[in-house]
């Protein structure tokens, strides 16, 4: 039973990582596609490669997810908890992808872990969740909005006397770099969350003593995310690239650069699992508001904000219900 659950967790964890790839592919490439800086095929291929490379840049966030969110029970009960958390997160990812809503796969995973842990009467590290999840969740979009606004304001001032057509052409080329930086940052942040859950399962099963991430876990997660990213996420690309605000290449460059800066800072310095989706969406709002606040489609932004709030219970409640169901029918 223990071996079966560990294998299932690895398979389901990689499936979650695949859904994270196609769900969050838009994070790195929506602005570049909508401004025609990159073709969809080229953008998806580049994002997949950068996601794969980003997964190898660090494991600090993985250790935070593995050890700082919950304390799973030992043996099969703990493994069942992790499995249900992953299934709850996958369900929320698929539902929000179908609705075209750019929600956070990271927060879906954490919501699933907390929901299943509460159902299992396991330890939930609320102080760690406050410090490493809630506060970064609130602060990273605010920083993204401000940085996106300031960066595009600076671009408008620097190129105020330049020919608009030449500026747009230059920033289309620059967006190749900023989109690559976003793809690398997404791999750095989001791949580590799946690594952390798989390592949590290995520690719970007693297969390793600490929360260090084995190389085979890094490679498997990187491949799954890259494959998911290349499969695309056109519904969410449409929402981020066109429905929130009309983007031109300078605005797209400002948004991507601002979001990438937040991703790298939180991964390397804060070691917090922030939402790539929230960060880039906020940066798009900030860059789009430099012309007129009325240019931003705030009704769409409110719908996205509502989905963000519902992410924790949306993944946590199904995870908890599934744990209670399986716990009652599987002999542990």
Could you count the other beta carbons within 10 Å of the beta carbon of residue 125? 17
Q: Of 303, 287, 312, 298, whose CA–CA distance to 34 is shortest? A: 287
Q: Give yes or no for a contact between 255 and 278, defined as CB atoms under 8 angstroms apart.
A: no
Q: Can you tell me the mean pLDDT for 175-186?
A: 90
Rg over alpha carbons for the chain, rounded to the nearest Å, is: 20
Report which of residues 197 and 332 the model is more confident about: 197
3-state helix, strand, coil in the chain (%, to 5): 80, 0, 20
233-252 pLDDT, tens digit each: 565 565 555 555 667 889 88
Higher pLDDT, 22 or 10: 10
Across 128-142, 175-189, 285-299, least confident range: 285-299
Residue 297 has a pLDDT of 63
Q: How far is Cα 202 from Cα 211, in angstroms, rounded to an integer?
A: 9
Instruction: Give the pLDDT confidence score for residue 26 in this predicted structure.
Output: 63
Q: Looking up tokens 């954490």, which residue turns up? A: 110
Q: Is the pLDDT of residue 329 over 90?
A: no
The fraction of the chain above a pLDDT of 90, given in percent, is 34
Stretch 89-108: mean pLDDT, rounded? 83
Phi, psi of 124 (to 5 degrees): -115, 125
Q: Which residue(s) pair with 124 in the sheet? A: 70
% the chain with pLDDT above 70: 89
pTM of the model: 0.84
Q: What is the mean pLDDT of residues 186-215?
A: 89
Q: What is the pLDDT of residues 42-81, one digit of tens each?
A: 888 888 899 899 999 988 888 888 888 888 777 788 899 9
User: How many separate domains does the chain show?
Assistant: 1
Domain range enclosing 112:
1-329
């Amino acid at each position: 039973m223990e071996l079966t659950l560990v294998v299932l967790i690895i398979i389901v964890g990689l499936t979650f990582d695949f859904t994270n790839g196609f769900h969050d592919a838009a994070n790195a490439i929506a602005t570049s596609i909508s401004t025609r800086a990159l073709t969809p095929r080229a953008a998806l291929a580049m994002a997949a490669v950068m996601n794969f490379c980003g997964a190898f840049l660090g494991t600090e966030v993985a250790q935070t997810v593995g050890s700082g969110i919950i304390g799973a029970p030992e043996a099969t009960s703990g493994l069942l908890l992790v499995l249900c958390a992953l299934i709850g997160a996958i369900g929320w990812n698929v539902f929000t992808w179908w609705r075209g809503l750019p929600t956070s796969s990271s927060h879906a995973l954490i919501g699933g872990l907390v929901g299943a842990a509460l159902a299992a009467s396991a330890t939930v590290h609320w102080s760690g969740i406050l410090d490493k999840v809630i506060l970064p969740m609130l602060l990273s979009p605010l920083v993204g909005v401000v940085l996106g606004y300031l960066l595009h304001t600076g671009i408008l001032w620097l190129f105020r006397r330049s020919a608009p057509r030449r500026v747009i052409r230059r920033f289309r080329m620059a967006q190749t770099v900023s989109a690559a930086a976003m793809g690398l940052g997404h791999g750095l942040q989001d791949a580590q969350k799946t690594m952390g859950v798989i390592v949590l399962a290995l520690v719970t099963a007693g297969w390793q003593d600490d929360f260090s991430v084995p190389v085979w876990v890094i490679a498997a997660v990187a491949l799954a995310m890259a494959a998911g990213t290349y499969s695309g996420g056109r519904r969410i690309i449409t929402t981020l690239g066109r429905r929130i605000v009309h983007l031109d290449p300078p605005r797209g460059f400002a948004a991507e650069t601002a979001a990438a800066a937040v991703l790298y800072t939180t991964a390397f310095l804060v070691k917090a699992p922030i939402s790539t989706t929230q960060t880039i969406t906020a940066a798009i709002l900030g860059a789009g508001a430099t012309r007129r606040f009325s240019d931003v489609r705030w009704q769409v932004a409110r719908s996205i904000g509502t989905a963000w709030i519902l992410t924790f219970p949306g993944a946590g409640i199904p995870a908890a219900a599934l744990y209670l169901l399986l716990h009652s029918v599987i002999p542990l």
